[in-house]
Amino acid sequence: MNFVESRNLQFEYIKYDDETDEKTAVKALKGVDINIAKGEFVAVLGRNGSGKSTFAKLINGLNIPTDGILYVRGLDASKEENIWDIRQNVGMVFQNPDNQIIATIVEEDVAFGPENLGMKPSEIVKNVDMALKAVSMEEFRNAAPAYLSGGQKQRVAIAGILAMKPECIILDEPTAMLDPLGRRDVMETVTMLNKEEGITIILITHYMEEAALADRIIVMDNGRVAMEGTPREIFSRVEEMKALHLDVPQITELSHIINKSVNSFPSDILNIEEFTDAFKYYGWNKAFHHKKENASPKYNKPILEVKGLTHIYGKETAFEKVAIRDIDLTVGQGDFIGLIGHTGSGKSTLIQHFNALVRADEGEVYFKGKNILEDKAGLKYIRQKIGLVFQYPEYQIFETTIYDEVAYGPKNCGLSADEVDTRVKEALAFVGIGEDLYKKSPFDLSGGQKRRVAIAGVLAMKPEILVLDEPMAGLDPYGRDEILGNIKRMHDDLGITVILVSHSMEDIAAIADKILVMNKGSIAMYDTVDNVFREPERLTAMGLNAPQLTLLFKRLKDELGLDIPVNVYDVEEAAKILISALKE
């Protein structure tokens, strides 16, 4: 018998509308047949609202099926008396590390599950030791979770499940809120648990590179299973995936495009190693067509200047920490700057100085040549001109209607009612929120829509510089593309100078002109996209990465001695270059 077996599994919940007092039944799952074998590593993909999380919660007994059959470990999951047995053997790790850690000390938190199961104290100690060791967090056993990084917190959460000795772990977007290093650590832990401990893994994710590590992928759409197969099978169906608003790894897409022109080239390559091997096997003959590397950065008139900026948290206390040290930086008018750096590198602290939300211990910030703290027009003017969109901006929403939410900023600027109205409408139209939604509550929107409303709230202030702190975090591929497209248009069409903080090197490469790399509170690099990604080793050492395509091209160049550039960030363009040389 399979570990998980479902037949025509259905789940519906009641949605309550405040305004109309209407209750409607929403079908989240509309008949799902899934089998998962013991020891298997399954990735579940699907856009937001496709039913992935609902399915996961059913397996763990957090939801009870409305209809259909669900067996977990041979136990009927629709029967109340089996729930505890199931939960004990199927652990679940959630997206937000902060909201699943219960205790104030790491080891106490890991012990929480075993304590609930009524294990003997000696056994709990043993299990906690084992679990912390498995996720390489032994040295933090007495630490307070508040002082850990996101990746470390997620590993503590995994340890908390492991200590219960489960047969299966479900992870619901465990890396959505993490930086590249944290993501890597969590994925290594998960893969190790599957391969070495034989634990069944069900991984829900929006990252295609993570899904590629699984034995099998299940793609869900609209409450049903849309596709099922090995990563190789699934990702080679590029068009189908895109139609479902999903993505495929860049490498796979590249091989798929090449395959269309050169039919005998494999179309289902999953990673860089395989690609290099395939290329080696295939051989090449002609000279490569490619653009010349463009090394000189374009120079724009300075709009924002930072001089000798230092910020220390908790000065003269036991918790003193230098967040940024002696930062010098010039941003040109019309620049599009990608800001990258590991968690705690000082990115967020730095950008909060740009509009004087925090005061520096040393150093100044100048907007158009004037010190922002001494500008006669005042702080309100500065904050209007330098817009800042925080991480998860939808968490700052408070108004009762979408219109009022966006109007909050312009109203604070003291504009006339007419001007406020024009700006709200312009901003909402720009992010693609229609007039029919103006009077709706922003809390009723989907995650991606909420975020666009929140961004519109800053855009409506007509900033000349817009700083966005990870605006794509936690969204599905479709939502990510939408936001990214909006930002690009703000830069290209509205002429706004953009500083974009992101953990996605692919996004940064595709959209930015320059990259600012922060490391341990200092600027490690500030150069053109090409020059920064030219040295992937340096980035890796800082807990970062280069885009997949860059890594591939660098490998082809170094290992096979191909005469190709490494500054290629677009799949179509990469395909064109490689096709030009492959043997017919």
Partner 1 sequence: MNITLGQYYPVDSIIHRLDARAKILATIIYITAVFCAKGVIGYGLCIGFLALVIVLCKVPFKLMLRSLKSIIFIIIFTVALNMLFIRTGREVFSLGFIRITTGGILTAVKLCIRLIILIMGSSILTLVTTPIALTEGIERLLRPFKKIGVPSHEIAMMMSIALRFIPTLIEELDKIKKAQMARGADFDTGGLVKKAKAMIPLLVPLFVSAFRRADELAMAMEARCYRGDINRTKMRELVYGRGDFYALGIVTALTICVIALRIIL
Contacts to partner 1 by CB under 8 A: 57, 60, 62, 84, 87-88, 91-92, 94, 96, 98-105, 107-108, 111-121, 124-125, 128, 142, 145-146, 160-161, 164, 314, 317-319, 352, 355, 357-358, 380, 383-384, 387-388, 390, 393, 395-398, 408-409, 412-413, 443, 457-458, 461
The residue among 127 and 250 lying less far from partner 1, judged by its C-beta, is 127
Contacts for 119 with CB less than 8 Å, ≥ 6 apart: 127
Nearest approach, Cβ of 63 to partner 1 (angstroms)?
Answer: 10
The residue among 81 and 436 lying less far from partner 1, judged by its C-beta, is 81
Nearest approach, Cβ of 507 to partner 1 (angstroms)?
Answer: 22
Give the rounded distance of the alpha carbon of 514 from its chain centre. Answer: 21
The residue among 157 and 433 lying less far from partner 1, judged by its C-beta, is 157
Nearest approach, Cβ of 138 to partner 1 (angstroms)?
Answer: 16
The residue among 83 and 562 lying less far from partner 1, judged by its C-beta, is 83
Number of other residues whose CB lies within 10 A of the CB of residue 512: 24
User: How far is Cα 268 from Cα 277, in angstroms, rounded to an integer?
Assistant: 13
Nearest approach, Cβ of 294 to partner 1 (angstroms)?
Answer: 35
User: How far is Cα 36 from Cα 284, in angstroms, rounded to an integer?
Assistant: 42
Nearest approach, Cβ of 259 to partner 1 (angstroms)?
Answer: 43
The residue among 409 and 543 lying less far from partner 1, judged by its C-beta, is 409
The residue among 213 and 458 lying less far from partner 1, judged by its C-beta, is 458
The residue among 249 and 457 lying less far from partner 1, judged by its C-beta, is 457
Nearest approach, Cβ of 404 to partner 1 (angstroms)?
Answer: 11
Q: Give, to the nearest 10 degrees, the angle between helix 402-412 and helix 417-430.
A: 130
Q: Is 260 helix (H, G, I), strand (E, B) or coil?
A: helix
User: How far is Cα 442 from Cα 335, in angstroms, rounded to an integer?
Assistant: 32
The residue among 126 and 245 lying less far from partner 1, judged by its C-beta, is 126
SS (H, E, C) 330-388: EEECCCEEEEECCCCCCHHHHHHHHCCCCCCCEEEEEECCEECCCCCCCHHHHHHHEEE
Phi/psi region, residue 515 (left: phi>0; alpha: psi -120 to 50; beta: rest), is beta
Tokens, residue 267: 């179309």
Contacts for 327 with CB less than 8 Å, ≥ 6 apart: 306, 308, 309, 310, 350, 363, 522, 523
Nearest approach, Cβ of 2 to partner 1 (angstroms)?
Answer: 21
User: How far is Cα 433 from Cα 379, in angstroms, rounded to an integer?
Assistant: 30
Nearest approach, Cβ of 349 to partner 1 (angstroms)?
Answer: 11
The residue among 164 and 372 lying less far from partner 1, judged by its C-beta, is 164
Beta strands (DSSP E) in 134-205 are 168-172, 200-204
Tokens, residue 489: 């248009």
Nearest approach, Cβ of 437 to partner 1 (angstroms)?
Answer: 19
Beta strands (DSSP E) in 193-320 are 200-204, 216-221, 224-229, 302-313
Nearest CA-CA partner of 307 in 329, 291, 280, 340: 329
Nearest approach, Cβ of 517 to partner 1 (angstroms)?
Answer: 24
The residue among 383 and 514 lying less far from partner 1, judged by its C-beta, is 383
The residue among 387 and 547 lying less far from partner 1, judged by its C-beta, is 387
List residues bridging with 528 in a β-sheet: 514
Nearest approach, Cβ of 146 to partner 1 (angstroms)?
Answer: 5
Q: Is 438 helix (H, G, I), strand (E, B) or coil?
A: coil
